[in-house]
Amino acid sequence: MSHLRTLTFTPSFVERESITHTSRTQFDNTGLAQYLSRASRPAYRFTLKLEALTKLQMNSLTAAHAYHQGGRSFLWDGAGYGSVDNFSLVGEGDDARREFFLGNRNVGAGSVAIQTFRPSSGVTSAWAASSANAWPYSLTGAAGVVTFANSSNTIPASGDDVNAQWGCNYRCHFEPDGIKVVNQWRGVYSVELVLTETAYTG
């Protein structure tokens, strides 16, 4: 089994595109349809531009691409997309649901903070990842899933917003045409990389 590598790029430009998997069901010939998300969260495609590279840097990038091609995945820190620094909505409580998907996979355990917000009263409650705490939760980092303990006082109440902060890595593949190299001036190169996030473990 090949070793999962972590690649670090320092791009001057990063574009992130969401890839959502949606199914559409048509109801007879009424013109009405139902849309269903087939995944718990979108995957992402990234276009990175690295400029003013030396020949040595360009060679390192093309060698990494040649080794991984499209068949080997790797972890990437996401540049500016590797963390959600403000509390952001990840779900809504219903007195029964215990599992909530964060916006990313491969989440670092020490990077997570959870709050619930009750719109009717404006009260915010912080939750701790500790079984000694009255409101514990646990994290499955690779899947990016937060699970609240199975107890009446540890499941988010109906109508409460579940908000989180987290940091993550992206498990990516190079796309088939995933690298472009330009010799801009003598000894100066630019490289464009296209990465696609995957849940695949190859």
> Which of 39-43, 63-67, 163-167 shows the lowest per-residue confidence on average (mean pLDDT)?
39-43
- Residue 125 shares a structural domain with residue 179: no
Would you say residue 32 lies in a domain?
A: yes
Q: Are residues 162 and 188 in the same domain?
A: no
When pLDDT is cut at 50, 70 and 90, the band that residue 10 belongs to is confident
- pLDDT at residue 55 is higher than 90: yes
**Which is more confidently placed, 200 or 182?**
182
What beta strand segments (E) does the chain contain?
6-7, 13-19, 22-27, 32-37, 43-53, 74-76, 83-92, 99-101, 113-118, 123-127, 137-140, 145-148, 161-167, 170-185, 188-197
Residue 15: exposure state from Cβ atoms within 10 A (0-12, 13-18, ≥19):
exposed
Find the mean pLDDT for residues 162-187. Answer: 92
Q: Which of 26-40, 141-155, 160-174 bottoms out in mean pLDDT, i.e. has the lowest? A: 26-40
The percent of residues above 90 in pLDDT, for the chain, comes to 57
Q: Is residue 152 part of a domain?
A: yes
Per-residue confidence (pLDDT) for residue 130, from 0 to 100: 58
202 occurs within a structural domain:
no
Across residues 23-50, what is the average pLDDT? 77
Q: What pLDDT digit, counting tens, does each position of 191-200 carry?
A: 999 999 987 6
Segment 117-126, tens digit of pLDDT: 999 999 998 8
Structural domain boundaries enclosing 12: 6-79+171-197
Q: Judge residue 114's burial from the number of C-beta atoms within 10 Å of its C-beta, 0-12 exposed, 13-18 middle, 19 or more buried.
A: buried
| pLDDT at res. 42 | 82
Same domain, 135 and 72: no
pLDDT tens for residues 77-116? 999 899 999 999 999 999 999 999 999 999 998 899 999 9
The answer to whether the predicted template modeling score (pTM) of the entire model surpasses 0.75 is yes
In the chain, the number of structural domains is 2
